[in-house]
Structure 1
Amino acid sequence: MPKSETLHIRIDPEIKTSVDATLKPLGLSTTEAINIFLHQVVLNGGLPFAIRMPEPNMETIAAMKEAQDISSGRIKTKAYHSVKQLMEDLCSDADD
């Protein structure tokens, strides 16, 4: 079937460069990869892959728990009412 439609999309230039570099060793152009994707959308009746939220790693989970503990008062932290107070405290800690 002859190609008679044009699709114009705007993407981040860095993404375009990365995509081109990834596809070139596969012998594909970005246009060819987009055509493959669009054919797969039709064949699958939707996106040809699952869309889901990324799973946080253990470090992120620990940071989220720590933030919850701080906000609930289970962990006590210092509070500062100005940047000057913070800087004075930081500088006095550096002297120790």
Structure 2
Amino acid sequence: MAAKSANLYARIEPEVKEQAEGILSALGIPASNAINMFYKQIILQRGLPFDVKIPSARPVDMNNLSEEQMNLELEKGYADMKAGRTKPASKAFTNIRKDYNL
């Protein structure tokens, strides 16, 4: 393994740093290791290791739907399931959290 001798200086929003370091701490990963992993993924992927895009729409707030709107949403979900346009719930929730900063 190569010796770690290069320094990286970056200015980021304090809230972002605090939240990210809290998560990394819970995972037992020092920030420097996470940054090193990120850079290695950039190399492996030959670009950013995630999609950079503006979400097309926010998730539907089921609490504010009428019965008719709820039925339409359920029918859309059923049609997607029958057409094979589904993904595991864990991946869906991960994507939602990432896309909407939750």
User: What is the TM-score when the length of structure 1 is the normalising length?
Assistant: 0.56
Runs of 4+ in 1 over 6 A off after TM superposition: none
Tell me the residue number matched to 1:21.
Answer: 22
Instruction: Work out whether 1:42 is the aligned partner of 2:6.
Output: no
Residues matched between the structures, number: 59
Tell me the residue number matched to 1:9.
Answer: 10
User: What is the TM-score when the length of structure 2 is the normalising length?
Assistant: 0.53
Q: How does 1:1-96 map to 2 (within 5 A)?
A: 1-57=2-58
SS of the counterpart of 1:34? helix
Structure 1 residues 7-42: Cα deviation after superposition (integer angstroms, max 9, x where no partner): 000011111110111111111111111100000000
How many Å separate the matches in 2 of 1:23 and 1:43?
Answer: 22
Higher-Rg member (1/2) = 1
Counterpart code for 2:10: I
Shift of 1:56: 2.1
Structure 2 runs not aligned, ≥5 long: 62-102
Shift of 1:55: 2.2
How many Å separate the matches in 2 of 1:45 and 1:34?
Answer: 16
Quick one: percent identity of the two aligned structures? Answer: 37
Counterpart code for 2:29: L
Shift of 1:6: 0.5
Structure 1 residues 24-79: Cα deviation after superposition (integer angstroms, max 9, x where no partner): 111111111110000000011111111111122358xxxxxxxxxxxxxxxxxxxx
How many Å separate the matches in 2 of 1:55 and 1:31?
Answer: 33
